[in-house]
Amino acid sequence: MAVKRGRGVAAVNYPTGMNLGGDPTQALVHSTPTGSFMVTLSSVDLGQGLKQIMAQICAETIGVPTESVTVDTADTDTGPHCMGTFASRGTHRAGNAVIQAAREARQVMLEVAAEELEVNASDLDTDGSGNIHVKGAPSRSISIFDTALAAHFKHGRSISGRGMFLVPRSYPETETGAMKPSTCYAHACTVAEVEVDEETGEVVVLSVKNVFEIGRALNPKMVEQQLIGGSWMGISHALYETTEPYYPDREHGARDYNEYLMPGPGDLAETEIAVLERPSGDGPFGAKGPGEMCANPQIPAVANAIFDAVGVRVDTLPITPERVLRALRQRDAGATA
C-alpha cells in the first residue's frame, strides 16, 4: 500500500447563452445634467461582478472613465427586460445591449458637442478622460460636463440610448437534430495532478493547471476570480459533493455544511490559470461566457488522474474514498484471481 501520483487531462468547450437562443436582454443608458452616465438594466449581479463589467463596457463605448458610469439594475420598475443571469449569458447578452444603448447615447453627445464647437459630429472624438475634441486638433475641445449641461439646459436634448440583444431562437429539426445551439463557444483544457492513498482511497488534488479561451478578458482580475472559483467548484464536484451520497437511496441527505461535504481551504489544489483570447464575432468586444464552463474540465481531469495514479476507473460522481477503495479492492481481487 502506498500513496501514488498521477495526472490527467480533459478538454472541453461551452456554449454562450441560453441553448437555442431566444433569450433577450435590454439596456437603457442616459446622462445626468453634469455628464455622468447611468446604465439601467434588470439583470442580476450574482456576486460575479456584472455591474462592474457593464460599467466598463458602457465607459469604453461612450469614451468616458468607468468611474463616471453608475449601473442601476435588478429593479423591475426601472430596468427593461432581461431574461436573467444564468447560462453564461450575462456579459454576452447584457453587454451587447449596453453597447447598443451606449452607442446611441454617444452619438447624441457628439451631436451636441458638435453644435457647441460648430463642427461636424463625425469630426469629433473622445479622449477617454472626460473631454470631446476635434480629431487631429486636441485644443478644440469641450468637456463632457459642459456638453451634458448644454444638452439639458440649452439644446433640450436627451443624451440617451436604448439597447437590445436577441439571438433568434432556433428550433431543432425533429429527426436529425439540426439546430443552432449557440453563436459562440468558450474552450478549456485542464491538467490535474493527484495523489491517491491506496490504503484509504483518499484523493488529494495537488495541482490543477487550467487554460481557458474566453474570447476577451474584459476585466482580467475579475476573470481570474471567476475562473479560480469555478476551478475549485470543479474539484469539489469531482471528489466531494452530492446531496444524496447513495443515490438513488434517499437516506443520508445532507442538511447543513457539517454534513454536506466540500473541500475546505486546506484541501484546495495549487491552481494555475492561463487565458487565451480569440474574440467571438458577436460578443461585446469579443467576449464569450466562461461562467459555467470554468467548473467543468477539472472533473474528468481529476478522474483521469486517479486512473493514471492507481489504474482504477470510478465512473460515478462524486469519486469518494469509499468508491476508490471499492475499485482498488476489485482491482486487487482481479489481479490475484
- Which residues are catalytically annotated? 292
Tell the smallest beta-carbon distance from residue 172 to other proteins (Å): 7
Which residue is listed with cell 440617451? 160
Tell me the sheet residues that pair with 143: 131
Tell the smallest beta-carbon distance from residue 180 to other proteins (Å): 5
Is 286 a residue that touches other proteins (CB under 8 A)? yes
d(CA 127, CA 115): 18
Tell the smallest beta-carbon distance from residue 144 to other proteins (Å): 14
- Picking from 109, 87, 108, 89, the residue whose alpha carbon sits closest to that of residue 97 is 89
Is 310 a residue that touches other proteins (CB under 8 A)? no
Site for other proteins in 179-198 (CB under 8 A): 179-182, 184-185, 187-191
Site for other proteins in 161-180 (CB under 8 A): 169, 172, 174-180
**What does the DSSP 8-state code read for residue 67?**
G
Is 14 a residue that touches other proteins (CB under 8 A)? yes
Site for other proteins in 248-267 (CB under 8 A): 248-250, 253-257, 260, 262
Is 211 a residue that touches other proteins (CB under 8 A)? yes
Nearer to other proteins, 248 or 334 (CB): 248
Instruction: Give the contacts of 114 (CB within 8 A, at least 6 positions apart).
Output: 120, 121, 123, 124
Is 137 a residue that touches other proteins (CB under 8 A)? no
- Binding-site member from 123, 273, 321, 325 for other proteins (CB under 8 A): 273
- Picking from 54, 48, 60, 59, the residue whose alpha carbon sits closest to that of residue 224 is 48
Tell the smallest beta-carbon distance from residue 246 to other proteins (Å): 8
Size of the site for other proteins (CB under 8 A): 122
**What does the DSSP 8-state code read for residue 184?**
-
> Cβ distance 92 to 281 under 8 Å?
no
Is 118 a residue that touches other proteins (CB under 8 A)? no
Cell numbers given for 45: 449581479
Is 295 a residue that touches other proteins (CB under 8 A)? yes
Tell me the sheet residues that pair with 12: 188
- Binding-site member from 30, 36, 38, 86 for other proteins (CB under 8 A): 86
Which 3 state secondary structure label does DSSP give 33? coil
d(CA 186, CA 183): 11
Is 35 a residue that touches other proteins (CB under 8 A)? no
- Picking from 270, 215, 295, the residue whose alpha carbon sits closest to that of residue 10 is 295
Candidates 19-27, 107-115, 140-148, 197-205; binding stretch for other proteins (CB under 8 A): 19-27
> Cβ distance 271 to 208 under 8 Å?
yes
Nearer to other proteins, 28 or 83 (CB): 83
